[in-house]
Structure 1
């Protein structure tokens, strides 16, 4: 006997966190902050290479990088500049590579 139990499908275009979606990017970069710019750069390179093809992860990465720019702006201007350069890479990639629905999601969540 087979019992089919319907499972609600999460809408991939829903607002993040409404459906339980989250990443560890904030924690990852916060840890890297303590080890300096090389660690931040390495964390970005790994995260970007792994997740740039997933629009939800890419969106969250861009959001975290943007917040990190402002977090360090008054305290560590050089780290803030690094985050700005990484943000520009990720944001530019999103602009050039996301499809229509993915861009709508991106704009809705980064605006």
Structure 2
């Protein structure tokens, strides 16, 4: 039998924090990716972003998760925090440039 990796997923307390109820597995996906370093995080972002950037609610949650990941890592690992910041900027810019009307309103209300 191969090596067993035990991964603990930190709690994402966003619902207690601001009332937002997560609708995706993005927090868990990135928490698992954290254990595989920068490459794991970048790969996860590329897959999630390409698959879900057309769904404004999922894109909004992706931006939220990336932002919270910056805060999770900023005092623990500057390199990982900086990577999450770059990915957050990419997803946030995409949302701001592509969402319109009610989709943009949802994005701003949820991420504010």
TM-score, with length taken from structure 1: 0.82
Unaligned runs of 5+ in 1: 1-14
Counterpart position of 1:92: 93
CA apart distance, 1:16: 5.1
Q: How does 1:51-66 map to 2 (within 5 A)?
A: 51-66=52-67
Counterpart position of 2:41: 40
Provide Cα deviations, 1:37-77, integer angstroms capped at 9, x if missing partner: 00000000000000000000000000000000000000000
Larger RCO, structure (CA 8 Å, separation 6 or more): 1
| Structure whose residues are more often helix by fraction | 2
Q: Which has the larger radius of gyration?
A: 1
TM-score, with length taken from structure 2: 0.81
Provide Cα deviations, 1:4-24, integer angstroms capped at 9, x if missing partner: xxxxxxxxxxx853xxx6100
Count of matched residue positions in the alignment of Structure 1 and Structure 2: 94
How big is the alpha-carbon RMSD for the aligned residues of Structure 1 and Structure 2? 1.2
